[in-house]
């Protein structure tokens, strides 16, 4: 079966528009049964005159309800290339979601956040195709893990799931393997890598429905055109920003160094001023001590003069 590469936003959006596929995707990664789900893609634009495409950058917010009745907010980010600009953008996006209240059953509430990152590049330090970065509660006084959870803590911290599509292998055993298989970056039908041949057995309704959606996205004329436009737009943007990340990082490091040098110079100036102030203070103290000595001498002379006058007066009487 020919399917579209779901690492592209327009294809992933088509996947997540199918409620059962969206539940399969999020539920499999989180290892939870999803009772209800609402997915809202957040659209971003690049200037059309630069890319030829008005909208192709999407982040996803999924509000889910688990089998236990807990509501969560899941943020999904597809990151095709590693660059500093998008990293900072998503940090700001994550911060804005922490500040935002959500509406659940007509009521405003703050939901715990889980993040999912689908990466089109390799993290050299981490060999895993699918990674969970999770938290635990640890009593540091008694050095033991606490099994209970706090609503306060849950809403201030979050777990993350990271999928490195270039590290996905041909495994096809577990439910997670089957989900990851649609993201596997192999068996492409051409050098453009926008469609590929899915060679695994369709042995579950979830994987069959997912590949059906991807098949349509990769073969229907209108869907295929959108996919090709997005690919060309990304190629244009990548060319625009090629080498800019390194330049940006070098500029930041240069600025940091300049600021550090300025801070060092200011510290040296402050130290010089402080030393001068101390010298002036010492001089003032010396002058003050001399003035005190003169004052003491003047007082001693005055006392002696008074004693002399008294002595003269006594002699005059005799």
**% of residues, the chain, pLDDT over 70:** 84
Residue 86 sits in the same domain as residue 149:
yes
- Is 257 a domain residue? no
**Domain enclosing residue 105, as ranges:** 2-242
Highest-confidence segment of 103-107, 251-255, 300-304: 103-107
Residue 207 sits in the same domain as residue 103:
yes
Q: What is the pLDDT of residues 135-169, one digit of tens each?
A: 899 999 999 999 888 999 998 899 999 999 999 99
What total number of domains does the chain contain? 2
Q: What is the pLDDT of residues 182-203, one digit of tens each?
A: 999 999 998 888 899 999 999 9
Residue 307 sits in the same domain as residue 226:
no
Q: Compute the average pLDDT of residues 208-219.
A: 92
Residue 193 sits in the same domain as residue 145:
yes
* Residue 116: per-residue pLDDT: 94
* Residue 84: per-residue pLDDT: 62
- Is 83 a domain residue? yes
- Is 174 a domain residue? yes
Q: Which long-range contacts (CB under 8 A, 24 or more apart) does 228-234 make?
A: 228/192, 228/194, 229/52, 229/53, 229/56, 230/8, 230/9, 230/10, 230/53, 230/56, 231/8, 231/192, 231/194, 232/52, 232/53, 233/46, 233/51, 233/52, 233/53, 233/56, 234/56, 234/80
Residue 237 sits in the same domain as residue 270:
no
Q: Is the pLDDT of residue 19 over 90?
A: yes
Joined together, the tokens standing for residue 287 give 């002058």
Last residue within a domain, chosen from 242, 270, 304: 242
Q: Is the pLDDT of residue 50 over 50?
A: no
Residue 80 sits in the same domain as residue 111:
yes
Q: Is the pLDDT of residue 206 over 60?
A: yes
Q: Compute the average pLDDT of residues 203-212.
A: 94
Q: Compute the average pLDDT of residues 281-301.
A: 83
Residue 73 sits in the same domain as residue 148:
yes
Contact 154, 134 (CB under 8 A): no
* Residue 244: per-residue pLDDT: 60
* Residue 46: per-residue pLDDT: 53
Residue 163 sits in the same domain as residue 295:
no
Cα–Cα distance measured from residue 88 to residue 244, given in angstroms and rounded to the nearest whole number: 14
- Is 26 a domain residue? yes
Residue 210 sits in the same domain as residue 274:
no
Residue 215 sits in the same domain as residue 286:
no
Whole-number Cα distances in Å, 106 to 103, 109, 111, 134: 6, 10, 14, 30
* Residue 247: per-residue pLDDT: 62
pLDDT mean across residues, the chain: 83
- Is 249 a domain residue? no
Q: What is the pLDDT of residues 219-272, one digit of tens each?
A: 887 777 777 776 666 566 556 555 565 565 566 677 778 787 887 888 888 888
Residue 178 sits in the same domain as residue 37:
yes
* Residue 91: per-residue pLDDT: 84
Last residue within a domain, chosen from 242, 275, 298: 242
* Residue 220: per-residue pLDDT: 81
- Is 226 a domain residue? yes
- Is 253 a domain residue? no
* Residue 201: per-residue pLDDT: 92
Cα–Cα distance measured from residue 81 to residue 66, given in angstroms and rounded to the nearest whole number: 32
Look at 57-71, 116-130, 195-209 and tell me which has the smallest mean pLDDT. 57-71
Last residue within a domain, chosen from 242, 274, 291: 242
* Residue 245: per-residue pLDDT: 56
Q: Compute the average pLDDT of residues 40-66.
A: 65
Residue 148 sits in the same domain as residue 70:
yes
- Is 250 a domain residue? no
Q: Is the pLDDT of residue 280 over 60?
A: yes
């Amino acid at each position: 079966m020919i399917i579209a590469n779901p690492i592209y936003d327009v294809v992933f959006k088509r996947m997540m528009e199918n409620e059962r596929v969206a539940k399969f995707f999020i539920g499999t990664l989180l290892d939870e049964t999803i009772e209800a789900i609402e997915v809202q893609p957040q659209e971003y634009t690049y200037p059309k005159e630069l890319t030829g495409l008005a909208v192709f950058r999407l982040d996803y917010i999924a509000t889910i309800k688990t089998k236990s009745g807990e509501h969560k907010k899941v943020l999904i980010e597809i990151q095709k290339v590693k660059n500093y600009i998008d990293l900072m953008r998503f940090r700001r996006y994550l911060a804005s979601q922490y500040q935002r209240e959500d509406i659940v059953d007509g009521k405003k509430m703050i939901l715990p956040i889980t993040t999912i990152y689908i990466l089109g590049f390799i993290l050299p330090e981490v060999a895993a195709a699918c990674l969970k970065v999770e938290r635990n509660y640890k009593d540091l006084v008694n050095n033991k893990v606490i099994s209970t959870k706090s609503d306060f803590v849950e809403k201030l911290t979050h777990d993350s799931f990271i999928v490195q599509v270039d590290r996905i292998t041909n495994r096809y055993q577990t439910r997670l393997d089957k989900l990851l298989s649609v993201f596997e970056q192999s068996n492409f039908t051409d050098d453009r890598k926008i469609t590929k041949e899915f060679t695994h057995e369709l042995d579950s309704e979830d994987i069959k429905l997912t590949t059906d959606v991807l098949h349509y996205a990769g073969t229907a004329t209108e869907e295929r055109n959108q996919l090709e436009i997005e690919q060309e737009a990304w190629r244009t943007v990548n060319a625009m920003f090629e080498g800019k990340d390194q330049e940006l990082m070098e500029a930041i490091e240069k600025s940091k160094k300049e600021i550090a040098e300025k801070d060092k110079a200011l510290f040296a100036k402050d130290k010089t001023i402080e030393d001068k102030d101390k010298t002036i203070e010492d001089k003032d103290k010396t002058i003050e001590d001399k003035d005190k000595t003169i004052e003491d001498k003047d007082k001693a002379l005055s006392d002696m003069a008074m004693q002399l006058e008294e002595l003269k007066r006594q002699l005059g009487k005799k």
